[in-house]
Each structure stands twice: as C-alpha cells, then as structure tokens.
Amino acid sequence: MQHVEAARRLRHYLEARQPAERFLHGAICSVALAELRSGTSLGGHREELDGRSVLLAARDQLPAALALIELDGIARRVVLCPPDLATEHLPEIAANAQVDAIVSDRDAADFANLEIPLHIRATSAIRPAAAPSGDRRTIWLLLTSGTTGAPKLVSHDVASLSAPIKPVHEVPLWGTFYDIRRYGGLQIFFRALIGGGSLILSSAGEPTADHIARLARHQVTHLSGTPSHWRRALMSPTLRAIAPSFVRLSGEIADQAILDNLRAVFPRASIGHAYASTEAGVAFEVNDGLAGFPARFVSVDRGEVDLKIEDGSLRLRSSRTASSYVGRDAPALRDNDGFVDTGDMVELRGDRYYFVGRKGGIINVGGQKVHPEEVEAAINRHPAVWASLVRARKNPITGAIVAADVVLKDSSIHDGDTTAQTEREIIALCRQNVAPHKVPAMIRFVPSLNVSETGKLLRHGPS
Amino acid sequence: MTIKATVISEIEQIANQHHKILAPLTDDAILLNTGLDSLCFAVLVTRLEDRLGVDPFSTSDDMIFPVTLGDFVRVYENAAR
C-alpha cells in the first residue's frame, strides 16, 4: 500500500473529493483545481520541460502553485525559489541544481545573466491541454540558509513531503501565513491537495488586515503560521472575523503565551504546534495546549519518527526527512544511522522537553535563520571595529532578535556621541550587506569578548 | 520624557532606519497600519526594554496583544507603575 502511495504524482490528488468545488485562491484571482485536469498554466509548453531541471522563480504564489502541480512527474528537478531570494545567489543555485529551464511570471530579461536556454512563463490562466501523463520521480529542491553565501539546496520528493499527512474526515479549507515555497507553507499546500480541500494563498506585501479579510471571505477552516505570524495576526482588529476549527503553529518555538492567546481568541479550535524543519521534515505535533513536548516522544523504533537527543540537540530519522543536500561540496545531511541533526537544543524539565535555542548560535528571527558569523563579518568591516559577537536576544514578537557585542579598536572611547555615531554607522553598514532580519536591533560596546582555549568566540544561548 | 513620547520617538527612529513611511501616530492608530512590520515591532520592544527597563510582553502571562497605538502605550504605562 505504501508503494502505491509513494508512486503518486501531485496531479492525482486533484481527483480527491469534489474536484469541481476545490480552488486555489490567490490575492487577485482564484483557480478551480478541476481546470488543471485537462489544462495547462504553462501556455502549452509543458512538453519542453520534460526531464529538465527547472528553476521555479515566480513572484506570485498562485502561478507557482499551479506550475508545481503540473511539473511534478514531468520535470527532473524543481527548485522552489521563495520571493525574497536575493538575485545575487541565483547563479550559484542554478549551477548546483544544474538548472536548464526557468519557469517564472517575471520577464526573461530578469534572468539573462544565468544564460539558461529555456524560459517559460508561469501564469494563473488555464488553457485547455491534454491531461499530463509524466511519471517521473521529480526531485523538489527547497532552499535553506547556509552559514555564508548562497542558500543550501535540500532534496525532497512527493513521498517525503506527503509522508507526514494523515487522512482527514472533514474537507479542509486551508489558509497559511507562510509562502508555499518554504517547507512550512509547502506542507499546507500538500495538505490542501491531498486532503481534498482548497487553499487560500498568502501574498507578499499584502497588509495583514486584507489577508485576514480574504481568509474570512472564503471561510477558512484550517490556518497555519509561525508564532511570529500569529502574534502579528493577534494585533489585527479583524482577527475575530475568522473562526478556524484548526489552528497550527510551526517553524519557531511556540511559547505558552502565544498558545494561551490563541486559545482565548479561538476557544473552540483545535490548537497545536508542530515541530518541523526543511531538512528533517515534520517530526511531531503537540496538541495538549502546552509549550514544549512530552519526553515520551523521544524514542527509537516505536513509531513513524525516531527521535533521539545527542549533545543536547534533537535528532530525527523518518521517511519524512530530506534525502540530501545537493550541489558541489554539499555536506552530508544524515549521519551513518540515518539521523538528521536539527541543531535545535532541548532541555528536559520534569516530563517535558523545551527548546532552548540553536546549536552554533544560529538565531531564529520569526522563522528565518540567522548565522551570527555572517552578521559579524558585516560589522567587522567598519574601520573602528576590532571584534564582534552576534547573539540571540529573546523577543516576544519574533521569538528572538539579533543583538551584537562590539569591541572597538580604540577602547578608550567612552564619549556617548561618538559611540552613538559609530552604532548608527555599523547598523547602516549591516543594512547594506545583510537581509533586514539579520541587522542587529541593538549594539552594546564592550571592552572584550570571551574567547575559548581554542581561540573561538564563546557563544551562548539566548540571553 | 513621558512613556508615550519615548514610544513615539523610538517608532520614528526605527521607521527611519528601516525606510518605512509612517501613518499619523494618533492614539487610535491601528498598530498594523502604522507602516511598521513585525521586525520593526520586535526591534521596538527590545529598544523600549533597554530605555524603560520593562518588557511587558514577556513578563505578563495574560498579556493581550495591543491593537491601537494608545493600547500599546498603556501596556507600557501599566508595566512601569
């Protein structure tokens, strides 16, 4: 039975439940999923993509979603580019994924420097076409941030992405604050498709109130986002216009305050938080309304997901994990026993484990990873800086925020005006060189940093 | 400086640093419509903690998220008491 499931292509799920009543709702328009059964959103160029390694780089999520359904089984690989991907990384990504076709709603001229021979326009308009018949095991490459430079490519397929999904009784009308080109959003896209339901897509730059108004208009029943997404939604005066029966959080640590706040606003909903990462897939869901997870989840050879804790970090083994990183010099993703190290540090208190931060000082700002080394490199470019240490500082809005301790070359400077000016310059320098969520929110000037015996900066968990 | 003036001056500074255009900062302004994104609010709460010595969002378990600027200032005024 599992074999049959594993061989399914995404388009097969279009047949579930009542195809004529299922939709993908974008910010501008909606598409009936039934139309895709004998139609194409790729302007009749589907055959040209047969066996290609496709860079899917659409601005809008709706054409991206339609292209994903169509390309699965046809393309050899699909690279899912989120909308905020820096264009400077595209050449390295294209080389590592051996891209030989681009599917995008943007102009071919935007990708001219990549010298990819085939550019096909992704649209939200369905034209009649023969039913697709490709049966290739398409590899889905998701992006995850690396220590420096271009994001890493993480290899999944429909089998690993759909493995966590259980059959549901009610027909879900899913909504998500995520983008479907990220793992958390992609899971919801799969849940909507496989569960026989519909999906209301988010839209980059859309005001929260407008997004919630769309969720209300379509009468969303299932809604997911990171704790940061939810905190923002809780600040919206219109949140009470929706009444989802199923509320999910993932991508960041869900603290007790956010769980309690959601319980107060949606008293009848099933509210749970899931642990998942791009590399490790979905590990578990916690549905008892409490932060952390029960210690009994940590077990090997007893369920679908093996969990163990080594050196304080959570490690996972299951059919849901990615198979590998892809590209030149790609590191191993699994250890010899097949476990993926999530890098998430946990601590046992009583009979529950709690997440306490990231290994290697990696900072999670609203679900987006920040490697301190990258920010330190940006700070250290300032001519007055001797050394810097970037660390996580706890934050009630985004879980954590970037803070920096900086040692100046001239440690005798204590004049407030001079340091305030230097602080402004450092922040301006960071804004030029790193993404906004990586720019330190505050800088503290310190006389020295702690260095270990091996000469490395001593990093600590969130302060 | 009053708490309200501190909050407004920090909001203006953060908006400037993040190149955001602010809506008029009246008491009944909806926070999400002021022009600040989640990251800006996160920075705001951190800077206010440093300036006012309180982070009411982390210290109170039954915290309800503020909707208007007036609500937001009141949360800090109550916490500072």
pLDDT higher than threshold 90 for residue A453 = no
- Chain A neighbors of B38, CB-CB under 8 A: 228, 231-232, 366, 397-398
Among A177, A164, A171, which residue's Cα sits nearest to residue A192?
Answer: A171
- Chain A neighbors of B41, CB-CB under 8 A: 232, 235, 397
Check residues B60 and A382 and name the one with the higher pLDDT.
A382
Among positive and negative, which fits the CA dihedral A81, A63, A179, A199? negative
* Cβ proximity of B25 and B46 under 8 Å: no
Burial of residue A230, with CB atoms counted within 10 A of its CB: 0-12 exposed, 13-18 middle, 19 or more buried: buried
Rounded mean pLDDT of A50-57? 97
DSSP assignment of A356-412 equals: EEEGGG-EEETTEEE-HHHHHHHHTTSTTEEEEEEEEEEETTTEEEEEEEEEESSTT
Residues of chain A with CATH 3.30.300.30: 362-445
- Chain B neighbors of A261, CB-CB under 8 A: 63-65
**3-state DSSP assignment of residue A340:** strand
DSSP H or E segment with residue A119: strand A119-121
Among B34, B45, B56, B42, which residue's Cα sits nearest to residue B7?
Answer: B45
Residues 15-54 of B with CB under 8 A from A: 17-18, 30-33, 38-39, 41-43, 45-47, 50
Gap between the Cα atoms of A245 and A172, Å rounded: 10
Residues of chain A with CATH 3.40.50.12780: 3-206
Confidence of residue A148 (pLDDT cuts 50, 70, 90): low
User: pLDDT by residue (tens digit) across A111-138?
Assistant: 999 999 999 999 999 999 988 888 999 9
Q: At what angle do helices A183-194 and A61-71 cross, to 10 degrees?
A: 60
This model of the complex carries an ipTM of: 0.92
Tokens encoding A133: 């018949």
Q: Looking at domain A3-206, which of 3.40.50.12780, 3.90.25.10, 3.20.20.80, 3.20.20.120 is its CATH number?
A: 3.40.50.12780
pLDDT at A210: 94
Tokens encoding A59: 């601005």
Rounded mean pLDDT of A414-420? 77
Q: At what angle do helices A227-234 and A256-265 cross, to 10 degrees?
A: 50
Using a CB–CB cut-off of 8 Å, the residues of A that contact B are 207-209, 228, 231-232, 234-237, 256-257, 260-261, 264, 365-366, 393-398, 401, 403, 427, 431, 436-437, 441-442
User: pLDDT by residue (tens digit) across A340-386?
Assistant: 999 999 999 999 999 888 887 889 898 888 988 889 989 988 999 98
Domain with B38, as residue range(s), is 3-79
Among A27, A9, A12, which residue's Cα sits nearest to residue A199?
Answer: A27
Identify the bridge partners of residue A284 per DSSP, sorted by sequence position.
A275
Neighbours of A147 (CB within 10 A): 12
**Domains identified in chain B, total number:** 1
Tokens encoding A419: 């340091």
pLDDT at A457: 67
CATH assignment of the domain containing B60: 1.10.1200.10
Burial string for A388-426 (b: 16+ CB within 10 Å, else e) reads bbbbbbbbbbbbbbbbbbbebeeeeeeeeeebeebbeeb
B60 → chain A, closest CA residue: A257
- Is domain A362-445 given the CATH code 3.40.50.720 in the classification? no
Query: Phi, psi at residue A420, to the nearest 5°?
Result: -65, -40
Q: CA dist A160 to A75, A119, A141, A338, Å?
A: 17, 28, 12, 14
- Subunit contact B63:A261, Cβ cutoff 8 A: yes
